[in-house]
Chain A
């Protein structure tokens, strides 16, 4: 028996540990308002910094036990796979979903009607057109608009003296941007304008939402039009004055803060650190305007409750929490995503964020604004769609191939994607009435 004493002692400790662990797992609902355990599965705010902010800042104070989980970065398909799997199994673990408008179009049939929550949020001041988007074309409120983002430009004040004469930084044209880049390059000897063209950079969105629409008026239908050719000619000419390391920049806030770059275009969440750390050093402004307008790409994220949610009331309580003015303000302050609720933002947010917000509002409200939505209905082919634009960029701008030939080649690929997914055209392309979008 003495020989087995150490073994028995170890087993006893293990048993005790299990017992303790299992009691810690049970969250006793202390008060009737306690929302209980809510598993919040979101493909937004999924980078390491952002998830930390969500857990430490945004969810703090919520009466309930929230498990904030995200699909692995770089594997967006995991989000759809999991939602579909739970729906097909009939039982789920997720009580709240966070995703983009286009993502909800894919999983529409698995979502619960949130009209009661919408009624409770009537006083929050969420714009009516956003709430309508949340109905996904039906009469049911399938998601509640949560937060929005877009892409803007940020410049270090050091770059402002090099602006061409007569240029207003809040209403630039692409020609003025080119002139600005040229001035900086010629007068300082360094190229200080850059784009996030790295492996994980969002430059495909620049082409899809800003360059091609501003020059051609469309995204898919005008892919190989004369306007598009002019847009790519422009890109080739400005590239001579763009920082060579752009091909490795993923988040523009890093080179902005190190001083390698003075003028950058990127997603607001990838610029926010620069503006928060030294707000007086930077200005934020809308992207430039082209012959067909000032193209910009709004990104709308929403909150939804799956039909198989084990704790639907907890999920809805969490929606009301995330839509509260305080949480929305903290969302802007921590992760750089803009609120959807109407509010005047407190000076406590800091100059940097207030500047960003002003730039976003200017972009949305300018008279020449040309809204280009994120691709809708592409599902798993979204990556291939970006590939068409990235390959076009690499072939035309980096390798110097013939523009019309490249556009014709890539147009075949683009049409194949449209035909494979059957995706109809989206703004700014004219409606294709449900038929697959066609490249003219």
Chain B
């Protein structure tokens, strides 16, 4: 039976127009371009142009700054230490929240709580806990484990400071990775894990051979976000260590806000951008998922 011919109205013509999707996102693209992309290009340009001359002077000042090497090494150290630890922790947390455990809703609520506060507030909380007359020492001395207060945040023992910062950052931002993993976990059809159980696969086998491979796209996304944020780590380090440890983002802020040198601050920001791009490229390459493996 032949289909009834339908009148070609304007609405129908519009819906069939191939350019429609592009026209619909044009306002958003224009907004992002004007308020994000253009200022970003200008800021990047600040690092290379001083008084209308193209020059590498800001970069030279940055590299010779007495805080440059400590900032770079500490930032890289944080990225390399925090991100893998967070991944393991987040995976465990997501598995717990996704399981059939009694009270998993309570666990989820507790895990998500740190997401609600700013990173500076988190830093100040941990500083109040770890400072010499802080909560940790008060507890340990009252219980009798320590006979006098121990200085946890001692700059002459840099390892202590690194551990303190890592713990604070783990507490504060692991929930972010966990949420992404949780979403990924809930997208894995239960049939796979149930079938594996039937065939005798243990818990760790199931995790390693079913869940992790199917979680690959989520891991890629989470890793991407987490690494970019790790390069921008700033408030927690200042709150806990003060001047004792510095990061690239801290130096960028200091050069802009205290020394009023936008060019060197832009140079630091450009360095953070380049490092983030390189790391992002590596992540995207390592975790590429061929179309065939994607869950559809």
The yes or no answer to B261 lying at the interface (CB within 8 A) is yes
Measured between beta carbons, the chain A residues less than 8 angstroms from B154 are: 244-245
Give chain B's interface residues, CB within 8 Å of chain A: 66-67, 127, 131-133, 148-149, 151, 153-156, 238, 240-244, 257-261
The yes or no answer to A199 lying at the interface (CB within 8 A) is yes
Q: Is the CB of B153 within 8 A of A248?
A: yes
Q: Given the interface contacts A75-B257, A248-B153, A260-B132, does A197 sit within 8 Å of B242 by beta carbon?
A: yes
Which one of A77, A258, A380 contacts B133 once the chains associate, using CB atoms below 8 Å?
A258
The yes or no answer to A383 lying at the interface (CB within 8 A) is yes
User: For the complex, what is the distance from the CA of A199 to the CA of B131, rounded to whole Å?
Assistant: 16
Give chain A's interface residues, CB within 8 Å of chain B: 74-75, 77, 189-190, 197-199, 201, 243-245, 247-250, 255, 258-260, 380-381, 383-384, 386-387, 390-391, 394-395, 398
Measured between beta carbons, the chain B residues less than 8 angstroms from A249 are: 242
Interface centre among A77, A248, A381 (most CB of B within 10 A): A248
By beta carbon, the residue of chain B nearest A198 is B242
User: For the complex, what is the distance from the CA of A107 to the CA of B131, rounded to whole Å?
Assistant: 43
Which one of B242, B257, B259, B261 contacts A248 once the chains associate, using CB atoms below 8 Å?
B242
By beta carbon, the residue of chain B nearest A239 is B156
How many whole Å from A197's CB to the nearest CB in chain B? 6
How many whole Å from A367's CB to the nearest CB in chain B? 36
Which one of B133, B243, B260, B261 contacts A247 once the chains associate, using CB atoms below 8 Å?
B243
Q: Given the interface contacts A197-B243, A244-B151, does A384 sit within 8 Å of B257 by beta carbon?
A: no
Q: Given the interface contacts A260-B131, A260-B133, does A245 sit within 8 Å of B151 by beta carbon?
A: yes
Q: Is the CB of A244 within 8 A of B243?
A: no
Measured between beta carbons, the chain B residues less than 8 angstroms from A77 are: 260
Q: Given the interface contacts A383-B259, A386-B258, A395-B66, does A250 sit within 8 Å of B242 by beta carbon?
A: yes
How many whole Å from B26's CB to the nearest CB in chain A? 30
By beta carbon, the residue of chain A nearest B239 is A248
User: For the complex, what is the distance from the CA of A247 to the CA of B238, rounded to whole Å?
Assistant: 10
Interface of chain A: mostly helix, strand, loop or mixed: helix
Measured between beta carbons, the chain B residues less than 8 angstroms from A394 are: 66-67, 243
Q: Given the interface contacts A244-B151, A245-B154, does A199 sit within 8 Å of B259 by beta carbon?
A: no
Q: Given the interface contacts A189-B148, A244-B154, A244-B155, does A199 sit within 8 Å of B242 by beta carbon?
A: yes
Measured between beta carbons, the chain B residues less than 8 angstroms from A199 are: 238, 242-243
Give me 14 other A-B pairs in contact (C-beta within 8 A), A190-B149, A244-B154, A245-B153 excluded.
A74-B257, A77-B260, A189-B148, A198-B242, A199-B238, A199-B242, A201-B242, A201-B243, A258-B131, A258-B133, A383-B259, A387-B258, A394-B67, A395-B66
Interface of chain B: mostly helix, strand, loop or mixed: loop
Q: Is the CB of B258 within 8 A of A247?
A: no
How many whole Å from B296's CB to the nearest CB in chain A? 45
Measured between beta carbons, the chain B residues less than 8 angstroms from A198 are: 242-243
Q: Is the CB of B155 within 8 A of A387?
A: no
Q: List 28 A-B contacts (CB under 8 A).
A: A74-B258, A75-B257, A190-B148, A190-B149, A197-B243, A198-B242, A198-B243, A199-B243, A201-B242, A201-B243, A244-B156, A245-B131, A245-B151, A245-B155, A247-B241, A248-B127, A248-B153, A248-B243, A250-B242, A255-B133, A381-B260, A383-B258, A384-B259, A386-B258, A387-B258, A390-B243, A395-B66, A398-B244
Q: Is the CB of A248 within 8 A of B132?
A: no
Interface centre among B66, B149, B153 (most CB of A within 10 A): B66
How many whole Å from A194's CB to the nearest CB in chain B? 11
User: For the complex, what is the distance from the CA of A260 to the CA of B152, rounded to whole Å?
Assistant: 13
Q: Given the interface contacts A189-B148, A394-B66, does A247 sit within 8 Å of B259 by beta carbon?
A: no
By beta carbon, the residue of chain B nearest A74 is B257
User: For the complex, what is the distance from the CA of A247 to the CA of B244, rounded to whole Å?
Assistant: 6
Measured between beta carbons, the chain B residues less than 8 angstroms from A74 are: 257-258
Measured between beta carbons, the chain A residues less than 8 angstroms from B131 are: 245, 258, 260
How many whole Å from B89's CB to the nearest CB in chain A? 27
Q: Is the CB of A391 within 8 A of B242?
A: no
Measured between beta carbons, the chain B residues less than 8 angstroms from A381 are: 260
How many whole Å from B136's CB to the nearest CB in chain A? 14
Which one of B132, B257, B261 contacts A245 once the chains associate, using CB atoms below 8 Å?
B132
User: For the complex, what is the distance from the CA of A212 to the CA of B238, rounded to whole Å?
Assistant: 28
User: For the complex, what is the distance from the CA of A394 to the CA of B261, rounded to whole Å?
Assistant: 21
Which one of B133, B241, B259 contacts A259 once the chains associate, using CB atoms below 8 Å?
B133
Interface centre among B155, B243, B244, B258 (most CB of A within 10 A): B243
Q: Is the CB of A391 within 8 A of B257?
A: no
User: For the complex, what is the distance from the CA of A159 to the CA of B229, rounded to whole Å?
Assistant: 45
By beta carbon, the residue of chain B nearest A406 is B66
Measured between beta carbons, the chain A residues less than 8 angstroms from B156 are: 244
Q: Given the interface contacts A197-B242, A383-B258, A384-B259, does A247 sit within 8 Å of B155 by beta carbon?
A: yes
Q: Is the CB of B260 within 8 A of A248?
A: no
Measured between beta carbons, the chain B residues less than 8 angstroms from A248 are: 127, 153, 240-244
How many whole Å from A166's CB to the nearest CB in chain B? 31
User: For the complex, what is the distance from the CA of A201 to the CA of B238, rounded to whole Å?
Assistant: 12
User: For the complex, what is the distance from the CA of A190 to the CA of B137, rounded to whole Å?
Assistant: 14
Measured between beta carbons, the chain B residues less than 8 angstroms from A243 are: 132
How many whole Å from A344's CB to the nearest CB in chain B? 38
Measured between beta carbons, the chain A residues less than 8 angstroms from B67 are: 391, 394
Measured between beta carbons, the chain A residues less than 8 angstroms from B261 are: 384
Measured between beta carbons, the chain A residues less than 8 angstroms from B260 are: 77, 380-381, 383-384
User: For the complex, what is the distance from the CA of A248 to the CA of B133, rounded to whole Å?
Assistant: 14
